[in-house]
Amino acid sequence: MTLEAKNLTFRYPRRGTGPVLEGVSLTLRAGERVGLSAPSGRGKTTLCRLLAGWETPQAGQVLLDGAPLPRRGFCPVQLLWQHPEEAADPLLKLRTTLYEAGPVDPAVLEGLGVRDSWLERYPSELSGGELQRVCIARTLRPGLRFLLCDEASAMLDLVTQARLWRFLLDYGARKNLGLLVVSHNAALLERVCTRVLAWEDIAAPRRT
Amino acid sequence: MTGNRRRSTLFLLILAGGLLLALALAGGLLDDRALTTDFSRKNLPPCPAYLFGTDWMGRDMLARTLTGLSLSLRVGALTAAASAAIALVLGTASAAFGGWVDALVSWLIHLVMGVPHILLIILVSLACGRGFWGVTAGVTLTHWPALARLVRGEVLQLKGAPWLRMSRRLGAPRGKILRNHILPHLLPQFLTGLILQFPHAILHEAGVTFLGFGLPPEQPAIGVILEESMSYLTTGRWWLALFPGLALVLVVVLFALAGERLRLLLSPASAQE
C-alpha cells in the first residue's frame, strides 16, 4: 500500500491570495514511519488535511495505491487533529462520538487506557489528553492503512506521550500501518520515525 | 442570576403556552356568544356584566376579543411553525448541498426579503382567495427568509468544523450526521426563531385583516374588530377599540418577551451571564 501526494497545490477560498501549498509531493509506504518537521505556517496541517481527504487540492492528486481516496465510507487515511477539543462534537457524549461510525476494538481502548466512565461525559468534561486518546481510539479501525499524526501528542505530559507512542508503534507494526508524524519536536521524530523529512524535501522552492 | 433567568424564562414560556391553550379553547367555546346580536343591550360601556362593553349590534366585546385572539393565535401558531419548517429545510439544504441549490435558495431569500412584507402578504393573500388560508399562506411565505439565512450560515459553519469532517471521513452515515451533529446545534436558533416568529405573524395577520385583505368581516378577528371600531371612535365609543387593541398588544409582548428570554438563555454569548 502506498499513499502518494503528487504535485499538490492548494489555496483556501477567500483567504488571502497566494496558495498555501504549491508543488508538494510525498510518498508514504505501508509500515513506514515518516517524520515531517517545518517552521510554523508552511502548510503542514493543510497537507495533512489534503492527504486525509478533508480538502480537495486545486491541482495535483492524492492517490492511494494509484486510485483517488474513497469519497464515502471509512477513509483508510485518517488524520489525528492537533486540537482534540475540536475533533469531538461538544454536544455529544463521547460514547456516541466513539461508536458513531461503527464498533471499536476493546483491546484498543484498553491499550490506550480509555476508561469506560469517560464515555458518559461530554468533551468539555475531559482533559485534552483523555480526549485525544478517545479520538485516537475511534480512528484505529480495521480498514485503517495510514495514520497522520499532526502534533497528536503535543498536549500530553511526557509519561503519557511515551506510553501513547509505544502503543501506536506497536499497533502500527502489527497492522503494518504507514505513519506520518508531524511535529516540532526533533527528539520525538528521531525516536519514532524510520525517516525524517524537512519541508524542502517535499515542496518545490517557493517563488517569491 | 442564571437560575433566576432560567426560572423566569420557564415561567414566561409556560405562561405563553398556557395562554395559547386557554385562548384556543375559549375561542371554540365562545364562538356562538361572539356572534350573538341583541339590540336590547347595544352600545353598553364596560360594566360588570359585559367587562369589555358591547357594540352597536349588542355583541359581547369580551367574547369577540377572546375569539379574535384565539383565531389570531391559531393563525400565528400555524404560520410560525410552517415558516420555521420551511426555513429549516431550505437553510439546511442550501448549506449542505451548495452549488446551484445554494444559489437558488439564496436568490429566493433575497427576492422575498427585497419586497416589503405587508405588500407581499396582501398579494399572496389575495391570490389565495383571502380568508383564513389566504392570510396563513401570505404570512408563511413571507416569514421564512430571515430564519433560513440564519440556519444556512449556521450549517455552513458546522460543515467546516473539524469534528464534522472527522465524522464524515470515519464513514458515519449521512442521516446520522444530520441527526447527531447538525440538528442539535440548530435547535437553539430554531426554537428562538420559531417563538419570535409568533408575534410577527399575529401582527401581520391583524394588519392585513385591518386593511381588508385578510379574514372576512363576519369572522370575529382582531383585525376585523379594530377596523369596525374605527368608525365608532369619533362617537365616543372608546371601549370598542381600546380593549381588543390592548389584548393584542399584551399577547404579542408576552410572546416577544418569552422568545427574547429564550434567545438570551440559549445563545452561548449570553448564556453564562
pLDDT of residue A28: 93
Cα separation of A152 and A83, whole Å? 8
Q: What is the mean pLDDT of residues B228-249?
A: 82
Altogether, the residues listed in chain A come to a count of 208
Instruction: State the pLDDT at residue B64.
Output: 84
| Distances A158 to A153, A155, B161, B248 between C-alpha atoms, Å | 9, 9, 29, 67
Question: Cβ distance B201 to B219 under 8 Å?
Answer: no
CA–chain centroid gap for A165, Å, is 13
The per-residue pLDDT for B271 is 63
- Average pLDDT of the segment spanning B61-71: 84
Residues 6+ apart with CB under 8 A from B119: none
Residue B1 has pLDDT above 70, yes or no: no
CA A201 to chain centre: 20
User: How does residue B105 score in pLDDT terms, banded at 50, 70 and 90?
Assistant: very high
Find all residues with CB under 8 Å of B26, minimum gap 6, and list them.
B66, B67, B70
Is there a contact between B229 and B247 (Cβ–Cβ < 8 Å)? no
Is residue B30 predicted with pLDDT exceeding 80? no
Longest CA span, chain B: 78
**Residue contact A138–B170, C-beta within 8 A:** yes
pLDDT at site B247: 86
Q: Give the residue carrying C-alpha cell 400555524.
A: B78
Place of cell 483517488: A68
The side-by-side arrangement of strands in the sheet containing A21-29 is A21-29, A2-10, A59-64, A67-68
Q: Between residues A198 and B29, which one has the greater pLDDT? A: A198
> Does the pLDDT of residue B53 top 80, yes or no?
no
The grid coordinates of residue B16 equal 405563553
Does A92 contact B169 at a Cβ distance shorter than 8 Å?
Answer: no
Which letter does DSSP use for residue B41 in this model? G
Q: For helices B61-97 and B145-160, what crossing angle results, to 10°?
A: 30
Q: How far apart are CA B53 and CA B109, in angstroms?
A: 45
Distance from CA of A47 to the nearest CA of B (A): 15
DSSP string covering B70-95:
HHHHHHHHHHHHHHHHHHHHHHHHHH
pLDDT at B2 over 60: no
Please report residues of A whose CB lies closer than 8 A to that of B169: 52-54, 74-75, 78-79
Instruction: State residue B269's pLDDT score.
Output: 64
Whether complex ipTM tops 0.90: no
Other residues' Cβ atoms within 10 Å of the Cβ of residue A106: 10
Return mean pLDDT, chain B. 84
Q: What is the pLDDT of residue B96?
A: 85
The C-alpha atoms of residue A197 and residue A47 are separated, in whole angstroms, by: 14
Residues of chain A with pLDDT under 50: 208
Q: How far is CA B78 from CA A116, B132, B137, B192, in A?
A: 46, 11, 10, 16
B60: which strand partners?
Answer: B54
Instruction: Give me the percent of chain B exceeding a pLDDT of 90.
Output: 18
User: B110 pLDDT exceeds 90?
Assistant: yes
Which stretches of chain B sit within 8 Å of chain A by CB?
161-167, 169-172, 176, 180-181, 184-185
pLDDT (0 to 100) of residue B54:
78
When CB atoms are compared, the residue of A52, A100, A139 closest to B172 is A100
Q: Which amino acid is at A161?
A: Q
Q: How far is CA B255 from the centre of its chain?
A: 9
**Cα–Cα distance for residue pair A166/B146, rounded to 1 Å:** 53
Does the CB of A94 have a partner CB in chain B at under 8 Å? no
For chain B, percent of residues with pLDDT exceeding 70: 96
Q: How many Å lie between the alpha carbon of B272 and the closest alpha carbon of chain A? A: 15
Among chain B residues, CA nearest to A70: B169
pLDDT of residue B196: 82
Q: Which of residues 149-208 of A touch B (CB under 8 A)?
A: none
Is A92 in Cβ contact with B184 (below 8 Å)? Answer: yes
For chain B, say whether A89 makes contact (Cβ under 8 Å). yes
Residue B48's pLDDT band, with cuts at 50, 70 and 90, is confident
CB B172 within 8 A of CB A101: yes
- Contact of B135 with B215, CB cutoff 8 Å: yes
Would you say how long chain B is, in residues? 273
Q: What is Dmax (Cα atoms) for chain A?
A: 53
Estimate to the nearest angstrom the gap between the alpha carbon of A173 and the chain centroid: 17
The three grid cell numbers given for residue B158, joined into one nine-digit string: 458546522
pLDDT band of residue B215 (cuts 50, 70, 90) is confident
Q: What local confidence, expressed as pLDDT, does residue A175 receive?
A: 92
**Chain B CB within 8 Å of residue A147 CB:** no
Nearest CB among B167, B169, B185 relative to A52 is that of: B169
Residue of A186, A98, A86, A85 lying closest to A136 (CA atoms): A98
Chain A residues closer than 8 Å to B162 by CB: 81, 83, 86-87
Query: Which residues, listed in sequence order, are joined to residue A28 by a DSSP beta bridge?
Result: A3
DSSP-H helix ranges across chain B:
2-35, 61-97, 99-114, 117-127, 131-143, 145-160, 162-169, 174-177, 183-210, 222-233, 239-266
pLDDT of residue B152: 93
Instruction: List the single range of A128-132, B100-104, B133-137, B254-258 with lowest mean pLDDT.
Output: B254-258
The DSSP call for residue B132 is H
A14 and chain B in contact, CB less than 8 A? no
**pTM (two decimals):** 0.78
Please tell me the least confidently modeled range out of B2-16, B86-100, B173-187. B2-16
Query: What pLDDT is recorded for position B11?
Result: 84
Q: Which residue did the predictor score with more confidence, A65 or B33?
A: A65
**pLDDT (0 to 100) of residue B61:** 82
Summary count for chain A: helices (H), strands (E): 8, 9
Minimal C-alpha gap between B99 and chain A (Å): 15
Lowest mean pLDDT among A71-75, A181-185, B184-188, B232-236: B232-236
**pLDDT-based confidence at B237, cuts 50/70/90?**
confident
Report chain B residues whose CB lies below 8 A from the CB of A92. Answer: 180-181, 184
Residues of A in contact with B163 (CB under 8 A): 86-90, 97
